[in-house]
Chain A
Amino acid sequence: MTMQLCDTPAHELSILLRKKKISAKEIVESCLERVAAVDGRPGSLDPGENSSQDNQSVHAMITLTAEKALAQAKGLDDKVARGEPLGSLAGVPFTVKDIFCVKDTLTTAASRMLANFRAPYTATTVERMLAQDGLMIGKVNLDEYTFGSSNESTAFQPAPRNPWDTNRVPGGSSGGSAASVAAGEAAISLGTDTAGSIRQPAAFCGVVGIKPTYGRVSRYGLIAFASSLDCPGPLARNVTDAAMLLKAIAGPDRQDATAVTKAVPDYVGVLDQGVKGLRIGLSEDYFKIVYMDAETGEMLQKPVPDEVRAAVYHAAEILKAQGAEIIEDVPMPNTRYAIPAFFVISRVEAASNLHRFDGAKYGYRTAQPKRDLREMYQATRNEAFGLQPKLRILMGMYVSAAQYSEQYYSRALKVRTLIRRDFENVFDPGSSYHLDALLTPTTPTTAFEMGAVYGDSVLMQYADQFTVTANHAGIPGMTFPAGLGADGLPLGVQLLGPDFSEPILLRMGRVFEEGTQAEAWRLQKPQVLRGLA
């Protein structure tokens, strides 16, 4: 069986297109066929009950932009025919998390609030992908406003399901991005990561995901969750494709005052430089989860499952074999405070960011006739926000109230300093550890079952325990698939590095990828692809 175009790596598609072996039209058609085969009906506001067919489909899409993609493909094929220079993503089909504004398409944030919203402008990242001749296949599902780690909170149901096992969640909030890439609906996807929203679903769906350094990629056009933590970043089926996408979207932006002016390295060009002499740390603080017992309020400790630990050690072995040095028992003592600090910081920012959704300027407005403005605001926000936005707004209101903000918000920002310091202490070239990266599990478990955690907002948050530290510290993190668990589901392993160390992390990821090419788990395909011709 020959590989279909939709399953072909992005960097290969780009070469095939340049060599005129294939056309952009064929690429898009292949992706659209795949969507038709596995995605099922797209998410909608009034979906009714799920059918059994629904329960076996991926449901990554909210808005399939087939016509646009075909028109774009036509333009690109003409460009190829005329021999014009092509962009770095020429012929690469991509999906976009539906939290990025794209002109003339719906931008829903997976919320009833924006179900009818057509953005008048395009996010910087998406604009760059289009400018590099990438082909946009569609806008994919997410947790409502990115608020979740399972994608179940979307107002657009059926919610996305994990392509490896459709009874499992794809993770979140970039669940649609991870699922669409894993299922071959597109080669790459643009997601966002506020606590692990790229890395956790990437791990759950067996793909690569990068949360870049804060400020490396412009946030302009990304509908904000927690502005000081949000990072747009790539999801892809392999390290090279992720590097290609990162290269396309990174860089300064005059529309984002927090986007750094540092030059963008050639992420693809450095991939084969190996890991010789690089120092990689392992920390026991990333092999246990500390969580609260809902009944007693007691803090409990639990080691991660053996297979999770084993996957990390296996990755360490592979990297060591290629010349990296492995340093064990690296202390990261403040890791456990990352979730409580996140609960505070993200809620304060989210509550404020959601103020603008009031029914006056865009999106949903209550249909009930209202006597005064206040009633209009309340009815609109009540009817259009789901439970998760409401929960975040209310918590944000509480912890940022004048009488509490010192106790909660200021304190959380100081704890953030401590979390950052953990990393500085081990990454600083002058320190005794002087690590180039830390190698950790991405998630404490493989993908959980649909409905198993949803509703318990505290437990759900703990799915991000190993990823959220990077958001607090601003540092880059990358997850890559590192095996399959006993349940047949992907296991992800994470690399965390100092500010702007993406090239190093990518090199490590690439070495692991090459070193495990022959391993049996690499031959396994996601469930939804197994029956396909």
Chain B
Amino acid sequence: MSEYELVIGLETHIQLNTVTKIFCACKADSWEMEPNTNICPVCAGLPGVLPVLNEEVLRKGVLLAYAMHSEIRNVSFFDRKNYFYPDLPKGYQITQYDMSLGNGGYMDLFIPEDAGATRRVSITKLHLEEDAGKTKNAGSERLIDFNRCGVPLIEMVTGPDLRSAAEAAQYLTRLRQLLRWLGVSEADMEKGHLRCDANVSIRPVGSTQLFTKTEIKNVNSIENVRSAIELEYERQVREVEAGNRIQAWTLDWDDEKNELKKMRSKETEADYRYFREPDLLPVRLSDEWIQAVLADFPELPLHRKQRFLTDYHLTEYDADLLTTDRQLSEYFESAVKVYGGDPKKIANYLMNDVLRMLNESGKSAADTRLTPQYLADIVKMADAGKINASTAKNLLVKVEASGQAPNEIVAAEGLGQVRDDAAIRAVVEKVIAGNPKEVEAYRAGKESLIGWFTGQVMREMRGKADPKLAQEILKEILGS
């Protein structure tokens, strides 16, 4: 099967995380709400209603367009796309057709199988539009919920530039990261914030022709996009090898059965009769307005990763991990700045302990009570030997739980590391006196018990002792 290569273009629909819908004042987010509760006359398409554009949608659109190297048009238009479907209450979708907010653009992808190589994925469409409602089958009927109608979407379409299911998955992973990074979308595929249709065709390797493609719809995770493309690749190869022609079908991904179903061809034929939406005026964006929106445009993940590698001498792996999430990367940098020491130490604390803590609590780096300042304070105390490593780790949890400054906790709970020889010596003697059997075994040659003895001392001292010093004293007394 190696003589066929895949040609893939992805069509993504991105739900913007505005407070309200694109053309009415209903909430944008109706996750887990009862059907048809988050609606109004406008988004339910009642007779006589009119759309009024949400300014925030434009702001988020401009951020994404800029990130995709798309030209931001000073004047763009909304159009009507006319078709009958029960999830579309007006019988037309308000979208942007030929003069959309963004014009062109691209995203550079690192090819996972080929380290160092990049693939430039062109963007052929980037426009704003309204989402439709949700429908579900119930026997011979279809049930419709309009809650989602009017949620702001950006439709973004790539050229046929992707060459494998893995590349498609990589594009989506990068896109999802970018959307969250920019704060324009929650980008959760399972919740439909990020939806992807894939146009798939095959061609003999070496050919530059485009062959008939099929369109895969309704795939709800990056993993499933990958599986669906792989399945469709195999099917198309089978068809071609059997001497059949590929037909321009629309295929529906069945999430339960992990298979593709053909949609009725009747639904897919269409003449949408686009024309300018007369209920809306042209969208006019002044350069000043655009500049103001872009004023705090963030450094993007790939750049930041590159900078982390050079500025902080992190490993490739660490730099990658610390830039998966914008808040995390910003947290890291602030902590490094206050700390002033080896960035690698902050990175280790973050990746080994703080991330685990955040994962468990479901918090983001931005809203943890363990501020970068507190983290730096803790690492500094450990560096200075004021606390030992295990105290430091416990302290992370305590700060997060209480929001108190780490030095206050240390002072209040007496967690400062005990380096006082006499104090430790007294406890060592007490432990030895209390455990004659173990002392006998140790002296008989079971030297591995030293760890156990150290643990006993540390426990007795509620972790405050310098463990190295405790062990030295133990060895000295036990050995005598």
- Give the interface of A toward B (CB within 8 A): 100-101, 107, 109, 114, 117, 119-121, 123, 219-224, 226-228, 254-258, 348-349, 351-352, 354-358, 360-362, 373-374, 377, 397, 400-402, 405, 409
Q: Which of A223, A224, A355 contacts B82 (CB 8 A)?
A: A355
Residues of A within 8 A of B278 (CB): 226-228, 258, 349
Label chain B's interface by main secondary structure: loop
Q: Which of B86, B272, B275, B281 contacts A409 (CB 8 A)?
A: B275
Q: How far is the CA of A499 from the CA of B46 in the complex (A)?
A: 30
B146 to chain A, nearest CB (A): 8
Interface size of B as a range: 20 to 34
Given the contacts A352-B275, A409-B275, A360 and B53 also touching, CB distance less than 8 Å = no
Q: Which of B41, B84, B144, B280 contacts A121 (CB 8 A)?
A: B41
Asked if A219 contacts B47 (CB within 8 A), the reply is no
Q: Which of A109, A123, A397 contacts B273 (CB 8 A)?
A: A397
Residues of A within 8 A of B42 (CB): 255
Residues of A within 8 A of B142 (CB): 373
Q: How far is the CA of A358 from the CA of B144 in the complex (A)?
A: 14
Asked if B279 contacts A356 (CB within 8 A), the reply is no
Residues of B within 8 A of A255 (CB): 42, 49-50, 52
B144 to chain A, nearest CB (A): 7
Q: Which of B60-68, B88-96, B217-225, B378-386 contacts A (4 or more CB under 8 A)?
A: B88-96
Asked if B52 contacts A256 (CB within 8 A), the reply is yes
Residue B376 CB within 8 A of the other chain? no
Q: How far is the CA of A360 from the CA of B84 in the complex (A)?
A: 11
Shortest Cβ distance from A109 into B: residue: B47
Q: Which of A117, A257, A361, A377 contacts B52 (CB 8 A)?
A: A257
Asked if A220 contacts B50 (CB within 8 A), the reply is yes
Asked if A352 contacts B47 (CB within 8 A), the reply is no
B91 to chain A, nearest CB (A): 2
Q: How far is the CA of A349 from the CA of B46 in the complex (A)?
A: 16
Residue B195 CB within 8 A of the other chain? no
Q: How far is the CA of A257 from the CA of B277 in the complex (A)?
A: 11
Q: Which of B48, B92, B272 contacts A123 (CB 8 A)?
A: B48
Given the contacts A352-B273, A377-B84, A120 and B46 also touching, CB distance less than 8 Å = yes
Q: How far is the CA of A254 from the CA of B25 in the complex (A)?
A: 11
Shortest Cβ distance from A381 into B: residue: B84
B24 to chain A, nearest CB (A): 9
Asked if A361 contacts B44 (CB within 8 A), the reply is yes
Residues of B within 8 A of A402 (CB): 271-274
Asked if B47 contacts A355 (CB within 8 A), the reply is no
State which residues 251-295 of B face A: CB under 8 Å: 266, 271-275, 278-281
Residue B159 CB within 8 A of the other chain? no
Q: How far is the CA of A119 from the CA of B280 in the complex (A)?
A: 23
Residue B183 CB within 8 A of the other chain? no
Residues of B within 8 A of A373 (CB): 86, 142
Given the contacts A101-B48, A223-B47, A255-B52, A358 and B275 also touching, CB distance less than 8 Å = no
Given the contacts A257-B52, A400-B275, A358 and B47 also touching, CB distance less than 8 Å = no
A227 to chain B, nearest CB (A): 4
Residues of B within 8 A of A349 (CB): 275, 278
Asked if A355 contacts B275 (CB within 8 A), the reply is no
Shortest Cβ distance from B140 into A: residue: A371
B278 to chain A, nearest CB (A): 4
